[in-house]
Structure 1
Amino acid sequence: MRRAYLSAAVAVLGVVAYLVLPRWWGGAVPAVAVTPQDLVRTVVATGRVEAPHRVDVGSTLVGTVARVPVAEGQTVAAGAVLIELDDRELRASLRAAEGAVAQAQARVRQLQEVQRPVAAQALRQAQATLETTRAQQRRQEELFRQGYVGQAALDEARRAAELADAQVAAARQQLDTTLAGGSDEAVALTTLAQAQANAEAARARLQHATVTAPVAGVLISRDVEPGDVVQPGKTLMVLSPTGETQLVVQFDEKNLGLLAAGQRALASADAFADQRFAAEVVYISPGVDAQRGSVEVKLQVAQPPAYLRQNMTVSVDVEVARRNRVLAVPLDWVHDADTSQPWVLKRVDGRAQRQAVTLGLRGGGRVEVMDGLKAGDELAPSGVREGARLGPHAGP
């Protein structure tokens, strides 16, 4: 039994010597040289893909849906047909309105081509009759002075001249109503304008029976089917315009002081985690969600990848700070890193010796050393104890 215990003890001592003694005497643990490098700090959060605005599509008419030629998720061009209503009644109304326009136009032509020339001719005839009756009146007056005719004949000639004069005045007035600015022309033109307005309104109603896409985009919602009776003001479809894409992300409020508009970010959709795309912070909510303890941040995606879809879940790394060409070491090499007196193990005369340092920016598992080290100093990696022997730097 003693011999067995002795063999076991020797074996344990052998393992301990293999693991520990090289750290004290053999230089088996190489030191690592500190070199300048770029250090970036990021904050991470998740959110969703959203368009900056969405377009609600509906009908301005009451009608029955005849056809819906698009499906949810489909990309449509501006002006593409989204919904068609039964337009038979509207087409009949348009034909009636166009008939009224044609009738009003015919009335204007009749006034200009028939009524006006006839009125002008009637005026000329009345003027000729007036000249004849006035000549007869003058002859009767002469004969009356000579005693050849009596007073009755003279009075008859005078009445005929007065009647002809009145007929000239009436004919002139009738002609004036048919001329430009006259009452008959004004009535005809007003009737024509009203008929044309009614036709335009009927044509517009007919056009509204076909609902088209106001902008190009992706149809993210469809709530209408053929046979449905639609009403004005009801949203039937929701269109997400193409172009600008935003990421709406909820960041922990503890990071609010680190975030600023214009900061760059890298994002990835959970469905395509290995494909990252660039984004930029464009909006930080002025308020904090008290229930979730978060702040809403919007990021603009200048060149969204083709696979990006509305409401996709995304992960976002926002670059909140950057230091170029600074001394940085792995954070796990720093002892008491969260206290006011952090330190590292520096290679001095071949041994790990404590060295106080001043820390700065942290990011990506590394931390900036602002004071206490210089480029080329060699440090002990994590797991090495103070006083252990360190081999020289073993590579770049």
Structure 2
Amino acid sequence: MNSRRRAIILLIVVGVMIAAAVVTRGFGLWAKDKDESLILYGNVDIREVNLGFRVGGRIETMAVDEGAEAAQGMVLAQLDPVPFRDALAAAEAQVAVARAELEKRRAGNRPQEIAQAKAAVAARQAALARARESFERRRGLVANGAVSKAAFEAAEAEYLAAQAELRSAEQLLSLQQAGFRREDIAAAEAQLAAAIAERDRARTSLQDATLRAPSPGTILTRAREPGAIVQPGETVFTLTIDRPVRVRAYVPEPDLGRIAPGMRVEVTSDGNPKTYHGIIGFVSPTAEFTPKTVQTEDLRTDLVFRLRINVTDADNRLRQGQPVTVKIVGLHPEAQR
């Protein structure tokens, strides 16, 4: 009986030791299962953009209200376009003036202007011939006293003046025939370019008087109302970008080697029975301390690395800023070696 009792006790002791070994994984000597999942914590990214006009003016219409769904390119608000249209019309008129001036300088002077300059030269030549004849006649008479010295000097001055007037007329004819200088044409080209730039600026300002949604999303805030005068850059709407949905999670430094971009994950949130699926798109190369908004079971002062997870099957029940739990099944291939 004693031997049987000792055998029973021995069997019980061995069974307890086996159970303890299984529970404690060989008292810590057995390797952990490589397929063990990793649980991370984070939040759905808050992605918002403040929308405003690049130009100032009076708001004429606002097409949407808070909570409205906005498609990319959808018109959200419109400034009074009249001042911008007037500025564009004035700029287009300046372009027309500058272009006409440039074309005139490139074409040179008209044939009528050149003919007029030639006629002026001919008239100065005739005047010079008369002045020369009078000067030569009086020069022969002044020696014998038939003409006074004063009369001779007057004829000489008239002759010299006629020569100068002829040279001036010839120079004017040469300018008419040569046309405008290259510098004048270049200046006209620069004036046309400046006028075109001003017209394009006015056209851009007219386009900027219409506020459009830069991407799909939901109107979170309507900060102004029709009739309000707004300054450039002043917030009119706040748009929350709800697609694609991204989760910002954090992995402790000891588990960093278990994850890699491209790994598939499962995302869950409190009070929502649905399990969402996502892909790790980014792992931060820089360590940081756990943000206070992330609830983990570890100490908040542990170093972590930020992850960005792109949720592939998100719906409206997964809202921005919401705390979520991320489950990663399996290890990074490099960690399985």
- TM-score, structure 2 length as denominator? 0.63
Contact 2:61 2:226 (C-alpha < 8 Å) held by counterparts: yes
Residues 112/120 of structure 1: CA separation in 2 closer, same or farther (3 Å cut) = farther
Secondary structure of 2:274 counterpart? coil
Q: Distance in 2 between matches of 1:136 and 1:287?
A: 103
Deviations 1:54-75 (A, max 9, x none): 5432222222222222453514
Secondary structure of 2:329 counterpart? strand
Give the structure 1 partner of residue 169 of structure 2: 167
Give the structure 2 partner of residue 196 of structure 1: 196
Give the structure 2 partner of residue 356 of structure 1: none
Question: What letter is aligned with 2:89?
Answer: R
Contact 1:219 1:237 (C-alpha < 8 Å) held by counterparts: no
Secondary structure of 1:67 counterpart? strand
Give the structure 2 partner of residue 219 of structure 1: 218
Q: What are structure 2's unaligned runs of at least 5 residues?
A: 1-21, 23-32
- Structure showing the higher strand proportion among its residues: 1
- Residue 106 of structure 1 and its aligned partner are, at CA, apart by 4.2
Superposition map of 1:1-396 within 5 A: 40-50=35-45, 54-71=48-65, 72=67, 74-77=69-72, 79-108=73-102, 116-133=110-127, 136=130, 151=152, 156-173=158-175, 179-181=180-182, 183=184, 188-214=188-214, 216-219=215-218, 221-224=220-223, 225-239=225-239, 245-249=245-249, 256-260=253-257, 261-262=259-260, 263-270=263-270, 273-280=273-280, 282-283=282-283, 286-289=287-290, 293-294=299-300, 295=304, 297-301=306-310, 303-305=312-314, 307=316, 309-311=318-320, 312-319=322-329, 321=331
- Residue 247 of structure 1 and its aligned partner are, at CA, apart by 0.7
Give the structure 1 partner of residue 19 of structure 2: none
Contact 2:246 2:309 (C-alpha < 8 Å) held by counterparts: yes
- Residue 206 of structure 1 and its aligned partner are, at CA, apart by 1.7
- Residue 118 of structure 1 and its aligned partner are, at CA, apart by 4.9
The size of the alignment, in residue pairs, is 280
Secondary structure of 1:274 counterpart? strand
Q: Distance in 1 between matches of 2:268 and 2:183?
A: 76
Residues 144/198 of structure 1: CA separation in 2 closer, same or farther (3 Å cut) = same
Residues 39/159 of structure 1: CA separation in 2 closer, same or farther (3 Å cut) = closer
Contact 1:123 1:175 (C-alpha < 8 Å) held by counterparts: no
Question: What letter is aligned with 2:82?
Answer: R
Residues 319/220 of structure 1: CA separation in 2 closer, same or farther (3 Å cut) = farther
| Aligned-residue CA RMSD (Å) | 4.2
Question: What letter is aligned with 1:76?
Answer: A
Contact 2:108 2:180 (C-alpha < 8 Å) held by counterparts: no
Q: Distance in 2 between matches of 1:241 and 1:180?
A: 59
Q: Distance in 2 between matches of 1:194 and 1:276?
A: 57
Question: What letter is aligned with 1:74?
Answer: E
- Residue 264 of structure 1 and its aligned partner are, at CA, apart by 3.9
Secondary structure of 1:277 counterpart? strand
Secondary structure of 1:41 counterpart? coil
Residues 94/318 of structure 1: CA separation in 2 closer, same or farther (3 Å cut) = same
Residues 40/228 of structure 1: CA separation in 2 closer, same or farther (3 Å cut) = farther
Residues 84/296 of structure 1: CA separation in 2 closer, same or farther (3 Å cut) = farther
- Residue 110 of structure 1 and its aligned partner are, at CA, apart by 5.6
Question: What letter is aligned with 2:220?
Answer: S
- Residue 89 of structure 1 and its aligned partner are, at CA, apart by 1.9
Deviations 1:103-144 (A, max 9, x none): 444444566679654543333223333444455566667767
Residues 289/242 of structure 1: CA separation in 2 closer, same or farther (3 Å cut) = closer
Question: What letter is aligned with 1:50?
Answer: D
Q: Distance in 1 between matches of 2:85 and 2:35?
A: 67
- Residue 217 of structure 1 and its aligned partner are, at CA, apart by 2.6
- Residue 42 of structure 1 and its aligned partner are, at CA, apart by 1.8
- TM-score, structure 1 length as denominator? 0.55
Percent identity reads 23
Residues 205/138 of structure 1: CA separation in 2 closer, same or farther (3 Å cut) = same
Contact 1:219 1:240 (C-alpha < 8 Å) held by counterparts: yes
- Structure showing the higher helix proportion among its residues: 2
Contact 1:268 1:314 (C-alpha < 8 Å) held by counterparts: yes
Q: Distance in 1 between matches of 2:242 and 2:173?
A: 69
Contact 2:277 2:311 (C-alpha < 8 Å) held by counterparts: no
Secondary structure of 1:96 counterpart? helix
